[in-house]
Structure 1
Amino acid sequence: MRYKLIVSDLDDTLLDDNLGYPESLVEAIAEYTAAGGIFTIATGRMTEPLLDCCRRLNLKGEAISYQGAIICDIESGKILEETDISNEIAVKICRRADELGIYYQLYKDGRILIKKRTPYTERYAKLCNCPFEEYGEGLTDYVINSGLEPVKALLVDEPMKIDTLLPKLQKEFEGELLVNTSKKWIIEMINKDINKGNAVAKLAKRLGIAREEIICIGDSPNDISMVEYAGLGVCVANGNKYLKSIAGYICPSNNEGGVAHVINKFGLEKSL
């Protein structure tokens, strides 16, 4: 088997636009793992929704959440590795978001901390189906007084504002945070030493798998690091323009079973 590990992003890559996946994907994963391959997911999502998806796909072993900040065991849910944002920088994020008047969320231990519910909260809730804790104007004080070190911060606004704000925040927090995006209305912030590529490298080391034996599949800017790292980096047809330019292969879109196509073509080496 040439490729022993296949890692896929979740939203807009493995999942279709209705947050589902074709039966052909389940069949391809089952055949690939039965042949000795390892298939897993690396996502910016929280650990709990990730684990739900992994279990529905009958995956075993380890998976990656929060853009690489957490590596967890699928069967037990145990956190194997976690890298958080320091409290000092978390406070800085809160204050900057307040200055900008932008909605934000902080993540820790399966909790989503917010000031108050807004239409953005409801939009995000549909995506992750997770509970929210409301702190009102006292959220920054809570972060200060509790010493909270979140695993991730998320800023949400209309795409035009996010498009303008993203490069500014990347410059402001350079050397302190990794600031990127997975959707046009979201800015994600995690520890500066973390990205999906680093997490895949850690996972591969744990499994004793060489870089050349890995396929990574993604669609958005937060997938760049793992697509660059992999022996074969793949972008779905609906993916980001830059990601397509650096990928070694462009597969069918998320709505056309792209991940199943990659498993069959490269993992199982079938003639398609």
Structure 2
Amino acid sequence: MEKEEERILRNLGWKGKGLIMSAYDAETNGHPHMDNPDDRKKEGSLRFYKPKFSYIFCDMDGTLLNSNSQITSTTAKALREASSRGVKVVIATGKTRPAVISALKMADLSGKDAIISEFSPGVFLQGLLVYGRQGREIFRRNLDPNVCREAFLYSLEHKIPLIAFSEDRCLTLFDHPLVDSLHTVYHEPKAEVIPSVELLLASVDIQKLIFLDTTEGVANTLRPYWAGATRDRATVVQAVPDMLEIVPPGSSKGSGVTMLLDHLGVTAKEIMAIGDGENDVEMLELASLGIALSNGSEKAKAVADVIGASNDEDGVADAIYRYAF
């Protein structure tokens, strides 16, 4: 492509460098990621630039999705453009795979040869379910059933909704508007109401739990209590302020990404990661370039190489056009 550009420019009497060679020079002579941080590539121009990364690992809530839990047309266009240049976009999220497929379908980004499908690699449920080549499961880790039992008894006693995540299913003990919002707003599968704790625990293996409450309720009551109650049997983590997740100890999105990279034969030097939450910290630390969006948690921003635009300012698109090429 460089030779073709050179021929065209020569015929036009142009004596300087073309876009392709200028991009190559920038990559060679400066820092590979941040040589010209203000040099945002224009939409539609990525075909003139060499990708700096083989993979982009991207979070969903608060990152790829804006505050309305939607992907904007600008972000969708950036993802398609990066993908057309051979950069593989992999989702790393606390969501189920069906939730991701549902959310991306709205932007025409799901299906065969799109960003996500049932045949795509990906990291789901905070790294507790990892799918490799052809979308086949390569890792699964379950939560201690005793922790699950205690959490559901607490949910019943305090009337605080709790959701169990089991692969592609969501289960709960009672209906609640916040439970409905997990489906209507966050695209998760509609929660199945199970009549008793013991029946629920006997019917599925649970990877993680989510308490749904107000931001204040999570910060002031749920998180302090469950950080102590789980002891070394589980870990609490937050992706959004009004939800508290309980996951197996030592698990993280970053460990799931590491496992997937090993499976794919890819090194961390080949990836850029974009996230916003404390659950993205290990992934951002692992990547060659970790970008935390400006709407993100202080923990995520503290470990990031770059602080990007917010999710309501097309932060993922901005990161792709600034740093990925």
Tell me the TM-score normalised to structure 2 length: 0.74
Structure 2 equivalent of residue 174 of structure 1? 231
Q: Measure, in 2, the Cα distance between the counterparts of 1:253 and 1:72.
A: 28
Q: Note the aligned Cα RMSD (angstroms).
A: 2.2
Matched position secondary structure for 1:27: helix
Q: Larger C-alpha radius of gyration, 1 or 2?
A: 2
Deviation at 1:73, TM superposition (A): 5.5
| Identity %, equivalent residues | 23
**1:212-251 deviation digits (Å, cap 9, x = unpaired):** 2221111112112211222211111111123212211011
Structure 2 equivalent of residue 68 of structure 1? 127
State the AA in 1 paired with 2:317: A
Structure 1 equivalent of residue 315 of structure 2? 258
Q: Measure, in 2, the Cα distance between the counterparts of 1:54 and 1:78.
A: 20
Q: 1:130 aligns with which of 167, 189, 193?
A: 189
Is 1:121 aligned to residue 179 of structure 2?
yes
Q: Measure, in 1, the Cα distance between the counterparts of 2:174 and 2:319.
A: 42
Q: Measure, in 2, the Cα distance between the counterparts of 1:12 and 1:162.
A: 18
State the AA in 2 paired with 1:106: A
Structure 2 equivalent of residue 248 of structure 1? 305
Q: Measure, in 2, the Cα distance between the counterparts of 1:40 and 1:54.
A: 12
Equivalent residues in 2 for 1:1-272, closer than 5 Å: 1-53=51-103, 56-57=108-109, 58-59=114-115, 61-72=120-131, 78-126=136-184, 127-136=186-195, 138=196, 140-144=197-201, 146=202, 148-164=204-220, 165-268=222-325
> Where do 5+ consecutive residues of structure 1 fail to align?
none
Inter-CA distance 108–256: structure 2 relative to 1 (3 Å threshold):
same
Could you tell me whether the CA contact under 8 Å between 2:95 and 2:188 is conserved in 1?
Answer: no
Inter-CA distance 186–35: structure 2 relative to 1 (3 Å threshold):
same
Q: Measure, in 1, the Cα distance between the counterparts of 2:90 and 2:300.
A: 20
Deviation at 1:18, TM superposition (A): 2.1
Q: Measure, in 2, the Cα distance between the counterparts of 1:197 and 1:229.
A: 7
**Displacement over 4 Å in runs of 4+:** none
**1:170-217 deviation digits (Å, cap 9, x = unpaired):** 232132112111122111112223211001111111222211222111
Could you tell me whether the CA contact under 8 Å between 1:87 and 1:143 is conserved in 2?
Answer: no
Could you tell me whether the CA contact under 8 Å between 2:180 and 2:190 is conserved in 1?
Answer: no
Deviation at 1:3, TM superposition (A): 1.9
State the AA in 1 paired with 2:69: L
Inter-CA distance 73–208: structure 2 relative to 1 (3 Å threshold):
closer
**1:109-152 deviation digits (Å, cap 9, x = unpaired):** 4222111111211222222252222124x2x12145x1632111
Matched position secondary structure for 2:61: helix
- How many residues are treated as equivalent by the alignment? 264
Structure with the higher strand share, 1 or 2: 1
Deviation at 1:80, TM superposition (A): 3.4
Matched position secondary structure for 1:19: coil
> Which moved further from structure 2: 257-266 or 18-27?
18-27
State the AA in 2 paired with 1:141: E
Q: Measure, in 1, the Cα distance between the counterparts of 2:298 and 2:144.
A: 33
Inter-CA distance 95–69: structure 2 relative to 1 (3 Å threshold):
same
Could you tell me whether the CA contact under 8 Å between 2:214 and 2:242 is conserved in 1?
Answer: yes
Could you tell me whether the CA contact under 8 Å between 2:142 and 2:207 is conserved in 1?
Answer: yes
> Where do 5+ consecutive residues of structure 2 fail to align?
1-50
